[in-house]
Chains A and B, each alone.
Chain A
Amino acid sequence: VKVKNILIILLVIVITAFFLTNFSSIYTIDDYAYVIAMGLDNSDDSDLILSLQIAIPAGSSKGSESSSSQSSSSIVSTVKCKNINGGVNLINDYLGQKLNLSYCKAMVFSEEIAKKGIGNYICTATNDIEIRPSCDIIVSKCSALDYITNSKPLLENLSSKYYEIASSSQKDTGLTRTISLMSFYNRYYDSLCEPYAPLSSIEESNESGKANKTSQANTKTNQDNQVDNSNQSNQTSQANQADQANQTSQANQANQLNQANKAEQINSNTSINKKEAESNSEAAKNEVQGKTLDSDKNSDNSNGGDSSSSSGGNSESSSKKDVEKDNTNAKIKNQGLAIFKDDKLIGEISREETLCYMLVSGKLKDAVINVPSPFEDADYVSLNISSVHSKNKVEIKNGTPFITCNISLSARVLSSTKTSNYLSKENSLALEYATNSYLNANITDFLYKTSKELKSDFIGFGRNAVRSFKTMDNWKNYDWLNKYQNSEFNVNVNTTVKSSYLLIG
């Protein structure tokens, strides 16, 4: 009987395994192409331009050519489509490998698309089983394509790691604040606060500090990056730019003919992000590989929406051209936060205002601020502020919200001069007073900007206000998110100057 039972169990396990694994559709790790960032831009005909930054693993044929030090590279593929899933499907169609979004670290929205509303994309991404809730949401002042094309790490080998590390920099600066897909989705639905997202742009940089030995290789790489490679061959490595241009245009024509019957026009823009220090001219040429369906980069279909838009769109277009001229010299710059009302971008706050937001929300861990010196005119004292605690209180009087922000923080003096004696009793008090006044004025201005100008409670005072309401009906009838613009603020900052560092005084 025992043997019979064991045989039955084994038989059942085998049958179960057979049915569940479905051998005909097994994917191995090599069958997947891993997306590390996703960019979403507007097009002129209300379509979506989806750009995917796809990792080329160091062990793959493409990645291994360069990889004496495990440099990783990535390609950026762009399609014009109706929605995210349609775009992914189109790229899947020609890429040869199945796209996997499980490692997508960032979703980048251009400013234009954010102004129109990104709620649908956020909901679609949240519904996707592969995209993780921890995926960062970013708004780019330039096109999302430019953003992810230029999101190459300077000090980091792995692009995916770069996104993780870049987002964690907020802990040390307080000048930006990341938001995950799930948090954005929560805020989008929540009646207590509005969404926000970090705002970035591309900044030109001379990079004078870079090693001279890499400059030549960079130039080569840049030249190669200018060319969209329509085939997977090594033609690029053997051709000069003129030849490449010819080949590209021929490929464009062929591809355009091939794609003519397709309902959606597909554009692909392929570039390679390489660690510059490892580049050499030959390797750089060989590494520029990728599939392209329409490589008409100059016409720049991805910026099609810009032509129909106002001056902002034109400036973006030119910005993109600049970037394409010299990709390696462009880098991402944090610009503060993009503020949303519902799912639409309605304004932005600067990096300094972001610091105020972090102070008011009590989320600041550690930051450096420069306070006008109470001792010498036109001079500043650098303070490291930490241990920030904020206690916000909202009272509703005659339908008007009165918001009181009590912020306490500790400061340590970073600046030091030969004659400074910041920590004497009188000077310490004067410094505390100056810090309080400085922060008080800035935070009050910032808060009134959020209510009167932006009319968006992205700070989350609704969380305090809701405590005054007993039922959800009362809360909904009050309509906090629209009443916020009537708010009056009272800010109290209490700074305690603890000490300096090694030099006391």
Chain B
Amino acid sequence: LTNDKLNFVEASFLVVIVMITHIISDLPNEIIKAMGSASILNMIFISAIILLFFLIVAKIFSCFNTNNILYVAEYLGGKFLVTLLSVIYIAYLLFVSALLIRRFASLLKIIYFKDAATWTIIACFILVALITLKLGTSNIIKANTLIMPTILITIVIIFISSINKFDFASVFPILGYGSKNTFLNGFENIYAFTGLIYLYLIGTSLKNVKDYTRVGVTSIIISAIYLILSVASIQMLFPFISNDSEPLSMYLSTRTIEFGQFFQRSDAIFMFIWIFTFLSYLSVIGIYISRIGIHTFGSMQNSISPYFYAIIVFIIALIPRNASQIAFLTDVVYKYLAIGVVFVFSFLILLLGFIKKKLTSAIYKT
């Protein structure tokens, strides 16, 4: 699984797929609920912060001969730290992918598969991910590169085709719940960019290591644009979202799209494409987990990794009993777990590794 090297486009899409999947599974809805009418302003602010954050990360990586945080952790804390980091990353990825697939499976059940049990829908996704992982990483990467443009186009179509129904006054009052809430409390919306975790890992898989910064900047900009488009379209279509309602906003926005009287009910097309998005997402997460596992625990686990991944995701996905538990896991647990793992713990390792490196080189010089 580790032999495949990624070109610029493949690497960028491997990062973007994670962001887009979160967008489809109602990430904009969570942001709008917290920020009210200042959601777009907050997203622009957060995007700028994340871009700056990544440039700092890239700068730190440039001090090492690698762009992979696992090597930095090994350098900083030896085998113990890299094992700890790997376990945390694998647990985090398993939890997030299980949560996302559960949400999407619940949506599919509501809309199309009323008579099917949720576990069968989840099992279908996981079976596909398992098969693709067994068939090889290169297939997943190529499939993802093909699927991504289609998915990006669907979000643009949603935005453009519903633009005539936008209520532009929804962006006012411009500061939402106040400047403190928008910029200070709203800072925690950096969790919208937790796809950054893959930028910690993807560096060593690039064909051209010098592309690392370009891949990061490109994927963040694409993700930011699509996040802002999604937030804007949902906010201007559904003013009621800021009233603590829990709609399936991205799906609702596709239901409002009508191309004249002859082409209606296009939401099925979007759902069809989004199914591929989630299939691709699950497979990509499987790749990341495999890469972490191989790096830390050796290639022996390569053959069992997909099965381990499939079983654990399936079990975790079945844990929430109802929609309110899923909402709690998404709104609270996932949010703070993501901030803790991606922006605090990981960055701390990078920062300490960087300080150790500087101190070591200073000692060598003296």
Contacts and interface: CB of A to CB of B under 8 A. Distances in A.
A329 to B, nearest CB: 30
A471 B258 contact: no
Nearest to A186: B239
Contacts of B65: none
Nearest to A132: B255
Categorize the interface residue count of chain A: 35 or more
Given A19-B123, A132-B265, A473 B177 contact: yes
Interface stretch (B166-174, B216-224, B295-303): B166-174
Contact of A466 (B113, B116, B169): B169
Interface in A20-46: 20, 22, 24-25
B173 A472 contact: yes
Given A164-B261, A467-B169, A190 B239 contact: yes
Given A20-B120, A133-B256, A186 B173 contact: no
Interface string B109-139: 0110101110011011001100100110000
B113 A20 contact: yes
B8 interface: no
Nearest to A9: B131
Interface string B164-199: 000111001111111000000000000000000000
A463 B172 CA distance: 8
A262 interface: no
A133 B252 contact: yes
A134 interface: yes
19 contacts: A5-B134, A9-B131, A12-B128, A19-B117, A24-B115, A132-B255, A185-B240, A186-B239, A189-B243, A191-B239, A192-B169, A466-B169, A467-B172, A471-B173, A471-B175, A472-B37, A472-B242, A473-B177, A474-B173
Contact of B239 (A189, A473, A475): A189
Interface string A444-484: 00000000000000001011101101111111000000000
A260 interface: no
Nearest to B243: A189
B44 to A, nearest CB: 17
Contacts of A9: 131
B220 to A, nearest CB: 29
B258 A134 contact: yes
B172 A469 contact: yes
Contacts of A473: 177-178
A344 to B, nearest CB: 18
Given A22-B115, A473-B178, A463 B169 contact: yes
A473 B175 CA distance: 10
Nearest to A8: B131
A471 B252 contact: no
A182 B239 CA distance: 11
Contacts of B255: 132-133
A417 interface: no
A5 B115 contact: no
A466 B175 CA distance: 12
Interface string B257-281: 0100100110000000000000000
